[in-house]
Structure 1
Amino acid sequence: MTASESHPTRLERSTTAAGAEVAVLTFAHGPLNLFDRAMFDAVIADIAALTAAPPRAVLLRAEGKVNSAGVDVHLFDGLDPEQAADLWRDLFAQICHPLEALPCPVVYAAHGLTLTAAFEISLACDIILASTKAKFGLVETVVGLTPSMGGPQRLAERAGSGRARELVMTGDVYDASTLVSWGVVNAVHDDVDAAARALVNRLADGPTRAHHATKQIVEAWRSGGIAHADAVTPVVSGALFDTDDLRGAVRSFLDVGPGKAVYAGQ
């Protein structure tokens, strides 16, 4: 799908050399990639499409000079408390939670400024890559708001609660190297788009069912700690032994050694 004024994103699917399907969701909404109602609706529709037909890996990226300069503040004008609460409930239910629940690896590539909603969406992805020029911020304090699409809690998970409070309360913008040192960004690359596409292809060519199991175990830890993760691991991991991917990989390892297996399971 191509981006347009009414649908300011592109969702494209392709296959790797090994035949694995990859999806790339691109924000393409003018020079600032602002999250207005059209942008939110487009992302919601794209994530619904990914949920209905998951690929083996997903890349989120943006066109233009910035990933996103944030949310169009017109979206907040005139909202009463209940309307605002409904907005955040909808964005959790239609963007953050289904993005996290995709049964495949999800990578976010930040090549430039990444503020508010875009930063919060990146925190719902499995892996965040950034360019040396990327900068990140949750700057909602400028309108008397706190980030409400999951940013504070997901920052706290990655960087600790003290860093999350600092980043949110100051409203400062942070460079990629700082956020790597905090554990928020996974890695910095000169050409982040190329690096992200290579990583997504590599993940797509790997054992997607095992990657999904990893996500389920980590999610269990996030929601209930180590004991809960330990409780779900035997069932989640045990189910992999009923997949052609695991059987084929074990046989390949025994016959020709590691690293030669071909994965096709979804």
Structure 2
Amino acid sequence: MADPAPVRLTFDGPLAVLTLDNPPANIFDAAMLRTWAETITWLAAHPPRCLLIRAEGRVVSAGLDVGIFNEIPPEDAAAFWAGQLATVQELEQLPCPTVFAAHSLTLTAAFEIALACDLVVATRSARFGLVERRIAFTPAMGGTQRLAQRAGVSRARELVMTGDLYRGETLAAWGVVNALFPVDSFHRDAHAYAMRLAEGPTRAHGATKRILRGFQFGDVAGADELVPEIAAELMRTGDHRRAVTAFIEHGPDHVTLYDGRS
């Protein structure tokens, strides 16, 4: 019997659920990195209306398999890390909301993936860390700069240079974690959180992501340049037209079912 895939993709209606399942600690070894990249590439070609990334087991992930560093010839190192970063960027560019659910320990590669998602949910006691300093390295899948985007350069320096672990409640105070859920109901709450986004106006969510990317790369002026055409595109969608009609007929508390595509 073949070994089970370390990354599993399932669907609950409009919601895609990507589960890390590489026991006992969901280590990102070579096989997991390969399957992870293949799955994100598939999702880029077949985008869902929302993606939830979660993990099975006691920990979310103990991070990258350190043995990989001995397997990569020095002349191939730049290409290897460029490939890992390209997958992170592909995740960021999905035209739908992405949610990372962290119920417990989330280190290095997994934390960097979380930082590339639109939203991060966690338990108060979940622990996060970019601990590459322990092997005289630095995060190479984009974690440092994405942490700086969320929490500021000073906090990014602190977390990366100390290599300390930080609780979910601390990162929520910093603006890195968006929502905290109880341990006992965490997976159910995270799924419901993501499903709410999946059932929403998907193209409008995608437009929001495009505007925010414009802001990140060009400040307010960069985002302003994108807004008129993006707004015009949304006004042509069926979801928008139905929602406007429902608002006029029933007021702001209207209930509109979005198809997320048209």
Q: CA deviation at 1:81?
A: 4.1
Calculate the TM-score normalised by the size of structure 1.
Answer: 0.94
- Provide the rounded CA distance (Å) in 2 between the counterparts of 1:208 and 1:25: 18
1:108 alignment partner, one of 83, 92, 100: 100
- Provide the rounded CA distance (Å) in 1 between the counterparts of 2:75 and 2:197: 41
1:199 maps to 2:197: no
Deviation string 1:16-62 (CA, Å, 9 cap, x unpaired) is xxxxx110000000111000010011111111121111111110000
* Secondary structure in structure 2 of the residue aligned to 1:77: helix
Matched to 2:46, the amino acid is A
Show the counterpart of 2:113: 121
Runs of 4+, deviation exceeding 6 Å: none
- 8 Å contact from structure 1 (residues 68, 118) kept in 2: yes
Matched to 2:8, the amino acid is R
**Structure 2: runs of 5+ lacking an equivalent:** none
- Provide the rounded CA distance (Å) in 1 between the counterparts of 2:38 and 2:247: 41
- 8 Å contact from structure 2 (residues 54, 100) kept in 1: yes
1:57-96 paired onto structure 2 within 5 Å: 57-93=50-86, 95-96=87-88
Q: CA deviation at 1:5?
A: 3.2
Matched to 1:262, the amino acid is L
Matched to 1:60, the amino acid is I
**Structure 1: runs of 5+ lacking an equivalent:** 16-20
* Secondary structure in structure 2 of the residue aligned to 1:73: coil
Deviation string 1:172-213 (CA, Å, 9 cap, x unpaired) is 011111111111111211132112111111111110010000
2:27 alignment partner, one of 25, 31, 34: 34
* Secondary structure in structure 2 of the residue aligned to 1:263: coil
- 8 Å contact from structure 1 (residues 243, 265) kept in 2: no
Show the counterpart of 1:18: none
Percent of paired sites with the same residue: 50
Q: CA deviation at 1:80?
A: 4.3
User: Over the residues paired in the alignment, what is the CA RMSD in angstroms?
Assistant: 1.2
Show the counterpart of 2:209: 215
- 8 Å contact from structure 1 (residues 23, 55) kept in 2: yes
Deviation string 1:130-165 (CA, Å, 9 cap, x unpaired) is 012310000001111000100010000000000000
Show the counterpart of 2:12: 14
Calculate the TM-score normalised by the size of structure 2.
Answer: 0.95
Deviation string 1:88-144 (CA, Å, 9 cap, x unpaired) is 110111x21111111110000000100000000000000000012310000001111
